Structure 1
Amino acid sequence: MAEPAERAYYRFVVLFFNCMLTFGSYFCFDIPSVLQQQFQGNLTCVNSTLGNGTECVEGLGMTPQEYNLLYAIYAWTNAVVVIMAGFLIDKLGNRFGVFLFSFLCVLGSSIFALGSHFKGSPYLLPLMLTGRLLFGSGNGSLTIVQNRITAFWFRGKELALAFGLTLAFSRLGSVLNFFLTQRFEAQYGMQWTLWGGTLLCVLGFLSAITVSVLDKVGMKQLGLDGAIQEESRKVRVQDVRLLSLRYWLLVFTIMFFYNGIFPFIADASKFIQDKYEGYSQKQAAYIAGAVYDSSLVLSAAVGILIDYVGLRGVFAVLCAVCTLPVFGLLAFTFVPPLISTIWLGITYSFAAASMWPSIPLVVPRSTLGTAMGLATSVQMIGIGLCNLIVGEILGEKNSDVKIPLWRWQRMMIFMLANTIGCIITSTVLNIIDRREGGTLNKMTKRSAVQDSEVQTDREALITSEEETGERDNSNINT
């Protein structure tokens, strides 16, 4: 009689709890974006309106620079930790990793929520930055463990479906944050809202315990307990010299594209309220969240399309070109912002499906883990720097509730500049790729994709700790 672990239902139970590992943490990540008005609100509101006639919002009194630093420190932490996390998990095992990194998410979100109780004191910003640092250390690395567990249980089975579902659950957390957080804050206040996010991270920690038990029991039933250590190669500094020009062009293409996505999302809710008439905070949060809504709906279908037709390099250029009008509309017109955010979500979906899976095609398999780690680090460093620059553009010491329109226009021009940088690097990438055989843009038939690219991806996911984490972490942060 077959053991439970050998049956299909068992691996899908593992998958469910594995998906829940990051649902809460991705909900938590963008809470500041929805509550930007409260984070930058006045410490006290004696009158309901300010001197310039705008509504007074009571909050933490952060400047735009301090607010954007919350996102910058998260990105910088990821840039360092995701490279080391794969090696640590490889040495100490999945179960150790899932406990450590889910606990860091709980600890970081707790300190972040605790910091909100110190408004008006010098302890507020250090506590909240410490919380984001610990939270970033856990959240990015937790994805590595999540992907590794998925790769084992669905190897040779429904692997693409399983990875799609883990990605969808993370994005679902982001989407629900934009729909629910403002309403919850209006009823219960900011402090309880942040503690509610911590509670969702606790749910992730309980899921970590469950998936660890299921994984351990399943390994014993399959006779693999103690022998399932995957072969993974240690990252060596000298491997960097083996990476080609095409690889570095691809890395900077990714960096420039995402420089225009996440810094915008971080400030989108406040931007919509400041520029457009008649939008409440809740409505603005819904519209900002449409970027995630679009990618949530389209990511699986777009991935199947690109796997089928190839043309990854062409899609990379088209994504950047099609993103240009988005920031142009936001900066210089009063076209309803929902059009722009949905549009951005569509190009975001195509970018995630075309750029990151191109890396295994332009580097030797022996250096793939190093390549994925470096690409993620460069991406996160770029996002972190852009968050700081955006904070400077919006006003270093400007704590007014409403930011002047000319500052928002400068921010959108900065987003445009990054998108133009993406167009330049992706165009040069296609030229170099064509000279070197046109690997990125080869048309592929379905059978060819299944026999080569999909199998390569499976082998990469299963045999390299770093590849597993970095690839799908990028697609999510993607």
Structure 2
Amino acid sequence: MGSTDALYRPDLDDESETDIHPGCGSSLACDPSRWLHRYLMLFFICFLAFGSYFCYDNPAALQDVMVRDMDLTETEFMNLYAFYSWPNVALSFVGGFLIDRVFGIAWGAIIFSLCVLAGQVLFGAGALANSIGLMYFARFVFGIGGESLAVAQNTYTTEWFPPTELNFVFGLQLSMARVGSTVNMVTMHLLYQAVGTTFRISGYKRLGAALMIAAVTCVYSSICASILAYFTKRAKRISEKRRQRMAASQALVDGTANTTAESETPKLISFRDILHFPLAIWLICIICVTYYVAVFPFVSLGLIFFERKFYLPVTQAGVVNSLVYIVSAVASPAFGAAIDFTGRNLNWVLSGTLLTLFCHLCFAFTSGEIPPIVIMIILGLAYSILASSLWPLVAHLLPIHQRGTAYGLIQSIQNLGLGVISIFAGYLVDTKGYLLLEVFFTFCLSLSLAFTFVLYFWDQRHGDLLNASGAHRRSKPTVVVSDHSAEQEEEKVEAEPEKSTIL
């Protein structure tokens, strides 16, 4: 099924469009069909969720002072993450559906960025009032916005960029997410100390003031959402003018009197469409959850693991444990660009999964023969490879008006898996130890590997949509698999080239 809502048109990068938008409007920077304009929009897309990533781990960055200043138990502290995660088992999917069906991408991003801002402000207010109940509610509101804003970010990416560039762009997004988390970890303690010195406050009021100041990053994200909304609306307006001009020109060629182009009716997703998602979408969901549950819960429990198994001091253990995010922040854009050039996304997914499996086998069955810092660097590279190659696959399978829902579905299943496995992983460590935990992680990765092979077979049956080479993708029109009957697939009717609203 061809999509009609993409905001890219690489085939026009060298054409003059001064009759449509004269002056600056026809320049590389201002013409929405040109590559430079797309990459200027990428700046705002990358920072769209920066405030969410920065503030999400505010509790982790301030764990010691938060527990002390508010007299919290560890259970009460961990509930700050529980109130974020569990609602998003359903709300990520709902948020994606609302973006596709109700709000649209522009208003959806603005609304959810404001939810993130409101949640962070309430979080700071809860600390100022020494009210853990208000802070729980704040994290719930923050979670509604945060996960849905990530869906909006993914949808914007697939709307502005062709599939031949998506791997690099998703890699850059992942890098900015890790940068946000890292900056939070580095700066929040410094901010907490500066607030106390400057305003001469202490205790929970000092904590609340620091959290309020952190909300500035969410304001910046809301500004990015507004800028993206403006330029997206502008791009579609220019698209409509181009479409009318082309229809009028075609009418003259055909010798007809009809010179008025009819505007295309925007397509909206329905719940029935979800039932017709290709099998590959569900396989991607399974691969995603079985892979990510072997990474994030491991990092959450990794500090004590490195202290006990490798006898590292707490400071060094913390550095080693954070290497996954540090390495991925640097490596993800590079791997994304490499995947765009070579194509073969499924080969990269397979490589990332195998490398991660190798790392967990080393942690389970070696005792220092390979330094843990080396294993964690490999794990960071593997995580970068998988994330940069897996998430863009949705754009090869579904039209744009269904992608927000698909990304929301994947994130909902991922949140469900992470929530359940995090609890189970903690239980395994408490009752069986880290060896059984690593065996469990290798089992999860083996499942991910198995379903990757299933996706291979599906893709071969459907014409190598997902594992095409980079050269093939650059030489052929972008197509997406039909979301309807299997008979169309068997007939091998050539899909309509994906059109752009920017002509």
Q: Give the TM-score of the pair, scaled to structure 1.
A: 0.71
- 15 and 301 in structure 1: CA distance in 2 versus 1, 3 angstrom threshold: closer
Does 2:473 match 1:449? yes
Larger Rg: 2
CA offsets per residue over residues 338-383 of structure 1, 9 Å max, x none? 3233221111112123333445666799976655443332222111
Residue from 233, 238, 248 that aligns with 2:268: 233
Does 2:457 match 1:417? no
Partner of 2:57: 30
- 430 and 460 in structure 1: CA distance in 2 versus 1, 3 angstrom threshold: same
Q: Post-superposition shift, 1:23?
A: 1.4
Alignment size in residue pairs: 428
Partner of 1:207: 224
Tell me the distance in 1 between the aligned counterparts of 2:411 and 2:500: 19
Tell me the distance in 1 between the aligned counterparts of 2:467 and 2:232: 39
**1:355 alignment partner, SS class:** helix
CA contact (8 A) 1:68 1:387 kept: no
CA contact (8 A) 1:265 1:288 kept: yes
* More off after superposition, 406-415 vs 261-270: 406-415
CA contact (8 A) 2:179 2:329 kept: yes
Residue from 277, 284, 290 that aligns with 2:323: 290
Partner of 1:96: 107
Tell me the distance in 2 between the aligned counterparts of 1:441 and 1:216: 30
Tell me the distance in 1 between the aligned counterparts of 2:418 and 2:477: 29
Partner of 1:383: 418
CA contact (8 A) 1:28 1:197 kept: yes
- 429 and 156 in structure 1: CA distance in 2 versus 1, 3 angstrom threshold: closer
Partner of 1:62: 74
Give the letter aligned to residue 93 of structure 2.
I
CA offsets per residue over residues 96-124 of structure 1, 9 Å max, x none? 323311111112223334444576xxx52
CA offsets per residue over residues 254-288 of structure 1, 9 Å max, x none? 2100111222233444654566556455x555433
Tell me the distance in 2 between the aligned counterparts of 1:183 and 1:266: 23
Give the letter aligned to residue 96 of structure 1.
W
Tell me the distance in 1 between the aligned counterparts of 2:164 and 2:456: 34
Partner of 1:82: 92
Q: Post-superposition shift, 1:6?
A: 4.1
- 389 and 118 in structure 1: CA distance in 2 versus 1, 3 angstrom threshold: farther
**2:268 alignment partner, SS class:** coil
Q: Post-superposition shift, 1:82?
A: 3.1
**1:439 alignment partner, SS class:** coil
- Which runs of 5 or more structure 1 residues have no equivalent in the other structure? 45-57, 396-403, 464-478
CA contact (8 A) 1:243 1:371 kept: no
Q: Post-superposition shift, 1:419?
A: 2.0
Residue from 125, 130, 148 that aligns with 1:141: 148
Does 2:215 match 1:198? yes
Tell me the distance in 2 between the aligned counterparts of 1:149 and 1:195: 28
Tell me the distance in 2 between the aligned counterparts of 1:167 and 1:232: 29
Give the letter aligned to residue 101 of structure 1.
F
Does 2:355 match 1:322? yes
**1:260 alignment partner, SS class:** coil
Residue from 101, 119, 122 that aligns with 1:111: 122
CA contact (8 A) 1:69 1:388 kept: no
Does 2:373 match 1:345? no
Give the letter aligned to residue 296 of structure 2.
F
Give the letter aligned to residue 184 of structure 2.
N
CA offsets per residue over residues 194-245 of structure 1, 9 Å max, x none? 33432321222233344445556777788779x999833313246425643x
- 195 and 13 in structure 1: CA distance in 2 versus 1, 3 angstrom threshold: same
Q: Post-superposition shift, 1:455?
A: 6.1
CA offsets per residue over residues 262-317 of structure 1, 9 Å max, x none? 22233444654566556455x55543332122222222332343344444444433
CA contact (8 A) 1:249 1:429 kept: yes
- 35 and 340 in structure 1: CA distance in 2 versus 1, 3 angstrom threshold: farther
**2:215 alignment partner, SS class:** helix
Q: Post-superposition shift, 1:81?
A: 2.8
Partner of 1:262: 296
- 6 and 25 in structure 1: CA distance in 2 versus 1, 3 angstrom threshold: farther
CA contact (8 A) 1:148 1:461 kept: no
* Pairing of 1:214-253 with structure 2 (within 5 A): 231-237=266-272, 239-240=274-275, 243-244=278-279, 246-253=280-287
Give the letter aligned to residue 338 of structure 2.
L
Partner of 2:334: 301
Q: Post-superposition shift, 1:78?
A: 3.5
Does 2:16 match 1:16? no
Give the letter aligned to residue 100 of structure 1.
I
- 317 and 223 in structure 1: CA distance in 2 versus 1, 3 angstrom threshold: closer
CA contact (8 A) 2:105 2:156 kept: yes
Tell me the distance in 1 between the aligned counterparts of 2:498 and 2:96: 13
What RMSD, in angstroms, separates the aligned Cα atoms of the two structures? 4.4
* More off after superposition, 334-343 vs 97-106: 334-343
CA offsets per residue over residues 45-72 of structure 1, 9 Å max, x none? xxxxxxxxxxxxx963223xx5555444
**Identity over the aligned pairs, expressed in percent?**
27
Tell me the distance in 2 between the aligned counterparts of 1:131 and 1:87: 23
Tell me the distance in 2 between the aligned counterparts of 1:200 and 1:439: 42
* Pairing of 1:119-134 with structure 2 (within 5 A): 123-124=131-132, 126-134=133-141
Partner of 1:476: none
Partner of 1:474: none
Tell me the distance in 2 between the aligned counterparts of 1:229 and 1:92: 18
- Which runs of 5 or more structure 2 residues have no equivalent in the other structure? 1-17, 31-36, 197-205, 243-261, 482-495
Q: Give the TM-score of the pair, scaled to structure 2.
A: 0.68
CA offsets per residue over residues 382-436 of structure 1, 9 Å max, x none? 11212232344455xxxxxxxx9x64555444433322332333344445655x3
Tell me the distance in 1 between the aligned counterparts of 2:423 and 2:154: 31
Partner of 2:250: none
